[in-house]
Structure 1
Amino acid sequence: MTQPDQPGYREPSTPTAAAPWNPRAVLAFKLSLASVLLVPAFMLLLPLLHVAGIRSREIALLAVAMIALASLASLYLGYRGARSGLDVRREVPSHPVAERGRSLATAAVPLGILGVAMQLFGFLFACLVLPVIGRGRQVRHLGRPALPPLQPDGSWASQPIVLHVDPASREDLAARWRENGRTEHASVAAFARLTLDLLGLGAPPPLVAAAQRDALDEVRHAELCFALARAIDGRAVSPGAFPEAAHLPSLSRVRVVALASLAVDSLIDGAINEGVSARLAAAVALRCEEGAFRDALKTIAADEGRHAAHGWDVVEWCVAEGGAPVLHALHGALSGLPRSARERLPTAADEGSWERWGIHGHALEAESYARTLDDARRRVQRLG
């Protein structure tokens, strides 16, 4: 046995306990992580309610209210986590063991900021479009849809259609179909903007090509709507100059922000709004008495369903490219959407009496929106 006075002798080492974590750093990290996970966790409530068969308005409103509160709590936790992380990083450790956990504090800062920024981004976007949901992709100004003016011109109403409609309802019914035509016309510009955004972000050819096809579909839809209106009241009216279409805002130069913006836009205007339009058109087509209305709505339903699928393709591509920040924005957007939405309809159409002429009522709209929104929540939840 080697003795202390012999060459090569070393004092036996005394085992040391692992240095404890800096409790403030751990807290900062937990707060930031909670800010990122809180809203997705609460959003699990909606699929669970759906599976359980709970569909009453009171329960649904309670679930949405809880998600809204979770969004606010997420903002607070993200702020606290980032602030605490910065405080820990500024501390001068009084003992070497206090260094352990400073990496957690460092991670807590961007994580907290990310949770706040993306949840807030998605939530605010959803709140802007909340009052006007339901008619597919739109040109928006400060969140409100911009539509082209009308002018005496038959260029968008040239398809020959013969209809038999109650004379007392002709004027209002034709006006409603022209309003539908205006939204379809505006969607052409929205899809053109989508094409440019996809090209700017380097999207694959199938996504770009689909956006181009969708725009051409909207041209046909607009022509159908204006032709139906002309067949109802005999007036040759078409959309006029639409300068707003030439001044649509472009995406941010910060790639992750641009991806999040495109994903949220495609979720709400594409996947949800186009999905609602497809459901409505398909359902109303079954209730139409006139073949011309029925045929037009069948065409629109098939096309809008494909547009909704394309919207989901864009969402999934943005998530694959942008990762967690894009997902946070999507969750924030969903938390800002209402459980129900109402499109402005003529009083005569409110109870569904115009569905025989291709104009949906509020009950059918509410059902289509609720089902589409439930599907969207489940699908985003599966994304992460």
Structure 2
Amino acid sequence: MDMVNPIVLFVCFIVLSGPVLIVAGIIDMSKGSGTRGGILTVLGASTMGLVYWAYSAISHMNFSKGRVLRLKGRARVARRALGDGWADDATPDIEGLTPWQRTVLGEAWLYSAGMEHASVPAFAKLSLKLSAMGAPSELLEACHLAALDEVRHARRCFALARAYSGLPWSAGMIPELSQDRPQRPSPAEGDDWSRLVRGSLLDGCLGEGLAASVAAEVSRRASDPVIRETLAVIAEDEGRHAELAWDVIAFALERGGGTAKQALRQALDALETQRSPSLPSIPGVDEAFLARNGVLPQAELGRLMEECIQRTRARASSS
């Protein structure tokens, strides 16, 4: 009989112990054991807080994110699921990692996998929009090639998440995709050309340009050859996707006239709001450990973000 993976047991314990302790504490307090009940309740809340703290930090980490899938103005990703179909055979070295370290890395790569997976329909949507606007075949071809890149990125990230966590993570549904219907844009959003330019500059030129820079930098710092190779490939691909965004802007400026040019000026103003958040540290892991495993330190992320904003501004201003 196969033994249960200890990392799976650890994850289940962390996730379930918080609510169980809180319930036990409430029951004890209702029976008159206020001191013990209070201690159990505090322990339960602390455990749940630890999990939420780690998730909050991980969900804003600088892992590769690909092109954002926006539906009705909000970023969307697939539901988490267990199963097959979204992982290659990559296996990082997990020897010597504690259960908590594996949990953190598994969660980080799972978050990255979800974002990479969402980039596939994001490029499909971009292709449809470009088709509707009479774009040349080269742009449509580049969109579909980029989507295939994101499929490979997602497979690799899911494989790493599975290896670290010990759980067979996969991509679930994105129900919002079937609910997405064309809406009348608000006056502030402008016409189709305006939205195309704004999205290409912020999500493409800046977002994917930053993803390329971060992946390249952290690839040089990663100690695991599998992580290093993964991030090097992602860096090259995301750099190419950023160039696609610049090509889309050039097309929009040529066809969209004054409306597209005005949208570009407005998008440049919005660059100043694109800053990396200040993140709390994750208990039990330090920045050196994260850097060795594919996550750039916060200070370095801020530096690369600022450099990417300045490069994007300079290039867009000359368009």
Q: Aligned pair 1:223/2:155, yes or no?
A: yes
For residue 206 of structure 1, what is the aligned residue in structure 2?
Answer: 138
RMSD: 2.6
Q: Secondary structure at the match of 2:170?
A: strand
Going from structure 1 to structure 2, the CA distance change for 1:301 and 1:343 (only over 3 Å counts) comes to farther
Q: Is the contact made by 2:107 and 2:165 (CA closer than 8 Å) also made in structure 1?
A: no
Q: Secondary structure at the match of 1:347?
A: coil
- Please give the alpha-carbon distance, in whole angstroms, between the structure 2 residues aligned to 1:353 and 1:148: 29
Q: Aligned pair 1:363/2:299, yes or no?
A: yes
Going from structure 1 to structure 2, the CA distance change for 1:346 and 1:177 (only over 3 Å counts) comes to farther
Q: Aligned pair 1:187/2:123, yes or no?
A: no
Q: Aligned pair 1:299/2:233, yes or no?
A: yes
Q: Is the contact made by 2:276 and 2:305 (CA closer than 8 Å) also made in structure 1?
A: no
- Please give the alpha-carbon distance, in whole angstroms, between the structure 2 residues aligned to 1:328 and 1:147: 31
How many pairs were matched up? 252
Give 1:250 shift: 4.6
Give 1:135 shift: 3.4
Q: Is the contact made by 2:87 and 2:170 (CA closer than 8 Å) also made in structure 1?
A: yes
Q: Deviations 1:136-159 (Å, cap 9, x if unpaired)?
A: 421224533111111111321242
Q: Secondary structure at the match of 1:210?
A: helix
Greater shift, 374-383 or 336-345, is seen at 336-345
Structure 2 matches for 1:1-384, cutoff 5 A? 135-164=65-94, 166-167=97-98, 168-248=100-180, 250=182, 257-338=191-272, 341-342=275-276, 347-348=281-282, 351=287, 353-383=289-319
Query: Which residue identity is paired with 1:311?
Result: A
- Please give the alpha-carbon distance, in whole angstroms, between the structure 2 residues aligned to 1:355 and 1:203: 41
Q: Deviations 1:300-345 (Å, cap 9, x if unpaired)?
A: 0010000000000001110011122211111112212336522586
Give 1:172 shift: 1.2
Give 1:226 shift: 0.6
- Please give the alpha-carbon distance, in whole angstroms, between the structure 2 residues aligned to 1:252 and 1:322: 19
Going from structure 1 to structure 2, the CA distance change for 1:226 and 1:345 (only over 3 Å counts) comes to farther
- Please give the alpha-carbon distance, in whole angstroms, between the structure 2 residues aligned to 1:172 and 1:344: 18
Larger Rg: 1
- Please give the alpha-carbon distance, in whole angstroms, between the structure 1 residues aligned to 2:102 and 2:175: 30
Q: Secondary structure at the match of 1:286?
A: helix
Q: Secondary structure at the match of 1:337?
A: helix
**Structure 2, unaligned runs of 5 or more:** 1-59
Q: Is the contact made by 1:148 and 1:186 (CA closer than 8 Å) also made in structure 2?
A: yes
Q: Is the contact made by 2:223 and 2:292 (CA closer than 8 Å) also made in structure 1?
A: yes
Q: Secondary structure at the match of 2:221?
A: coil
Give 1:272 shift: 0.6
**Structure 1, unaligned runs of 5 or more:** 1-130
- Please give the alpha-carbon distance, in whole angstroms, between the structure 1 residues aligned to 2:104 and 2:116: 19
Q: Is the contact made by 2:212 and 2:238 (CA closer than 8 Å) also made in structure 1?
A: yes
Going from structure 1 to structure 2, the CA distance change for 1:251 and 1:135 (only over 3 Å counts) comes to farther
Query: Which residue identity is paired with 1:177?
Result: W
Q: Secondary structure at the match of 2:272?
A: coil
Going from structure 1 to structure 2, the CA distance change for 1:204 and 1:251 (only over 3 Å counts) comes to farther
Q: Is the contact made by 2:91 and 2:163 (CA closer than 8 Å) also made in structure 1?
A: yes
Q: Deviations 1:18-60 (Å, cap 9, x if unpaired)?
A: xxxxxxxxxxxxxxxxxxxxxxxxxxxxxxxxxxxxxxxxxxx
Going from structure 1 to structure 2, the CA distance change for 1:262 and 1:220 (only over 3 Å counts) comes to same
Normalising by the residue count of structure 1, what TM-score does the alignment of the two structures yield?
A: 0.61
- Please give the alpha-carbon distance, in whole angstroms, between the structure 2 residues aligned to 1:251 and 1:209: 27
Identity level (%)? 35
Going from structure 1 to structure 2, the CA distance change for 1:346 and 1:208 (only over 3 Å counts) comes to farther
Q: Secondary structure at the match of 1:309?
A: helix
Going from structure 1 to structure 2, the CA distance change for 1:162 and 1:132 (only over 3 Å counts) comes to closer
Normalising by the residue count of structure 2, what TM-score does the alignment of the two structures yield?
A: 0.73
Q: Is the contact made by 1:350 and 1:362 (CA closer than 8 Å) also made in structure 2?
A: no
- Please give the alpha-carbon distance, in whole angstroms, between the structure 2 residues aligned to 1:145 and 1:270: 14
Query: Which residue identity is paired with 2:299?
Result: A
